[in-house]
Amino acid sequence: MPIPRRRLVPFLALTAASLALTACSAEHSAGRVAATSASAQAATNAATDLYVDPDSNPARWARDNAGDGRAARIKQAIADKPIGHWFGDWDTDIASAVSGYVGAAKNAGKTPVLVAYNVPGRDCKGHSDGGAADAGAYRAWIDKFSTAIGDRPAIVVVEPDAVAQLDCIPEGERRLRLDLLKYAVDRLKTNAPNAWTYLDGGNAHWVGADTMADQLKEAGVADARGFSVNVSNYYTTEESDKYAADVNTALGMDKKYVIDTSRNGHGGTPGDWCNPSGAMLGTPPQPGTGGAELELWVKVPGDSDGPCGIGEGIPAGQFSPDLAVHLIDGN
Catalytic residue numbers read 123, 161, 305
* CB distance 102 to 152 below 8 Å: yes
Helix (H, G, I), strand (E, B) or coil at 318: coil
Closest CA relative to residue 236, chosen from 206, 202, 263:
263
272 class by beta-carbon count within 10 Å (0-12 exposed, 13-18 middle, 19+ buried): middle
Q: In residues, how long is the chain?
A: 331
Strands 195-200 and 154-158: parallel
E strand map for the chain: 85-87, 113-116, 154-158, 195-200, 226-229, 256-260, 286-287, 294-296
The string of DSSP codes covering 204-225 is TTTS-HHHHHHHHHHTTGGGSS
Q: Would you say 290 and 328 are in contact if contact means Cβ atoms under 8 Å apart?
A: no
